[in-house]
Amino acid sequence: MGGAIPSLAREGGINSAVWAGPETFAKDVKKNHLPVQGGPRKKPVNLKLGFASDNFSYSVEFGLPVPQKPSSAFDHDPEIKREAIWHGDRWRALSALADRHGSLVHVRDSRGKWQTA
């Protein structure tokens, strides 16, 4: 209860939720000669969640904000990077009804044309 972002915070933040091992594995790790160990990430961190049904589906992607200067206590708070709603159980661009990237929202009107909201 209370929403996805507070739930992520209670679990230790997005970094804790998305850590499932390193981004790449060394040959010795793949051969089971060395244990799997984490390290600093080089790529952006994101967490994608979704729901699919026969009629409508929804997905949301959380990520970390772009670092700002000066730094803030909120630098590691997750933000919604993208949300999408579409008709059907699988994403197809033609079945999209709404698509949000950051603060930019596109929705289809009654004629099927994209409008920026």
Domain boundaries, the chain: 4-116
For 7, 70, 94, 113, the CA distances from 73, given in Å and listed in that order, are 18, 10, 40, 41
| pLDDT average, residue stretch 79-103 | 93
- For the entire predicted model, the pTM comes to 0.70
Write down the H helix ranges in the chain: 4-10, 14-18, 27-30
| pLDDT average, residue stretch 57-86 | 87
Q: Note the pLDDT tens digit of each residue in 18-41.
A: 766 677 788 988 899 988 877 777
User: In this structure, what token pair is assigned to residue 18?
Assistant: 């998305």
Whether pLDDT at 83 is above 90? yes
Whether pLDDT at 109 is above 90? yes
